Amino acid sequence: MLTTEEDPSTRADAPAPTSTPPKAPPTPGRCLALVALLSAALMALHAHLPNTALNLGSLFQTLLPWTGLAVPALLALAAVRRSKLAAIAVLAPALVWATLFGPTLTGTPTDKGTGATGHGLTVLSHNVDEANLDPAGTARALAGAKADVLALVELSKEATPVYERELAAAYPHHAVLGGVGLWSRHRLTEVAEVEIMPWTRAMRATAATPEGPVAVYAAHLASVRVSGAGFTTARRNEAARALASAVRAEPGPRVVVLGDFNGTYQDRALDPVTSQLRSAQREAGNGFGFTYPAGFPVVRIDDVLVKGMDPLASWTLPATGSDHRPVAATLRF
């Protein structure tokens, strides 16, 4: 007699087939925690972010101080989601940001405004803006800062005589080449153009101070733009390399570079310059010292860079008729 073996799966008492339960989707708290850790990593590794795609690395570094806004935003979202995990993870970007910028916020000037008193050399840099409608008022405001040396960039042919007239009493020595100029209480010698672009955007002179000669540069690097093509910095970077070559060849021990760099000290594309010089703002400033745009500054693209001198204080002056704010620093020999 033929028999067939019964399929166990068809028996009424057979156990139901097992299947792998679907994985639960990530909770909002876990997603927030991952975003917080990613934010911390981007801050910590900002110097290693690639510039190959649209120069986004440089753009991120330009806006680096503002990455701290991610901390309260993530904390608020963690509170809404009532996620302890996300709240704890937010400590990571908070700690990284505090490490990067805590000293900037807690620094206090030690000797602000001692120019022309014999306690240091006070220098001032300002992009005066070719479209400035009140160059006379701007010049008077700059003279009121009582710096020893002024570096002005973006001088127009029409406004230059106004600055010369208004600053003559306080600054008996001055030199203007193209759109850049230096005014000084001390005698200026060895005045020369520094070729960083096809037209004059930088100059150099030696200031004969009572404590010894100081090489002073006034520089205005090429402008940058944020567009569909990304962060366009090619001309600025080329100008920075040319300026760096001039500074590298400087024979004297004391160098001060003043001007509008169209980039921040953190932007590694400016390393050819910043690797040789120290930022007075980073060492002796009080706060971020943002300079542009003047009405509501969000970046510091104007700076005082030094070699062979110690910054005692660095500060940003009130807005003038320019779209930039002036910056000043007191330096010790």
| 113 three-state secondary structure | coil
Count of helix runs (H) and strand runs (E) in the chain:
10, 14
Measured distance CA(51)–CA(70) in Å, rounded: 22
Instruction: Write down the mean pLDDT value for the chain.
Output: 91
pLDDT of residue 274 exceeding 60, the answer is yes
pLDDT of residue 52: 84
The CATH fold of domain 121-332: Deoxyribonuclease I; Chain A (3.60.10)
pLDDT of residue 111: 45
* pTM confidence score: 0.87
| pLDDT tens-digit map of 286-306 | 899 999 999 999 999 999 999
Q: Which residue has the tokens 């001198």?
A: 309
Indicate the helix (H) or strand (E) that contains 282.
helix 280-284
Task: Please answer whether residues 302 and 292 qualify as being in contact, where contact means their C-beta atoms are separated by less than 8 angstroms.
Answer: yes
Radius of gyration of the chain measured on its C-alpha atoms: 28
* Tokens representing residue 53 in the block: 């795609």
**For the chain, what are the domain ranges?**
28-106, 121-332
Q: Which residue has the tokens 């703002």?
A: 281
Task: Please answer whether residues 206 and 253 qualify as being in contact, where contact means their C-beta atoms are separated by less than 8 angstroms.
Answer: no
Task: Please answer whether residues 57 and 49 qualify as being in contact, where contact means their C-beta atoms are separated by less than 8 angstroms.
Answer: yes
Low-confidence winner among 43-57, 170-184, 188-202, 265-279 (lowest mean pLDDT): 43-57
pLDDT of residue 172: 98
At 110, is the pLDDT very low, low, confident or very high (cuts 50, 70, 90)? very low
Measured distance CA(124)–CA(181) in Å, rounded: 12
Cα dihedral 136, 156, 233, 267 sign:
negative
pLDDT of residue 65 exceeding 90, the answer is yes
pLDDT of residue 53 exceeding 60, the answer is yes
The mean pLDDT value for 6-29 works out to: 60
| pLDDT tens-digit map of 197-246 | 999 999 999 999 999 999 999 999 999 998 888 899 999 999 999 999 99
At 106, is the pLDDT very low, low, confident or very high (cuts 50, 70, 90)? confident
Residue 198: asked if its preceding bond is cis (omega within 30°), the reply is no
DSSP for 185-197 reads SS-EEEEEE--SS
Please state, in angstroms and as integers, the Cα–Cα distance from residue 292 to each residue in 60, 235, 316, following that order.
Answer: 17, 20, 11
SS3 per residue for 240-275:
HHHHHHHHHCCCCCCEEEEEECCCCCCCHHHHHHHC
Measured distance CA(171)–CA(183) in Å, rounded: 6
* Tokens representing residue 25 in the block: 């989707």
Cα dihedral 46, 47, 52, 57 sign:
positive
How many Cα atoms occupy the beta-carbon half-sphere of 170 within 13 Å?
19
pLDDT of residue 4: 46
Q: What residues contact 47, with CB distance under 8 A and at least 6 apart?
A: 61, 268
- Alpha-helical (H) ranges within the chain are 28-44, 56-62, 70-81, 84-89, 91-106, 135-144, 160-167, 234-248, 271-274, 280-284
Q: What percentage of residues in the chain have a pLDDT greater than 90?
A: 82
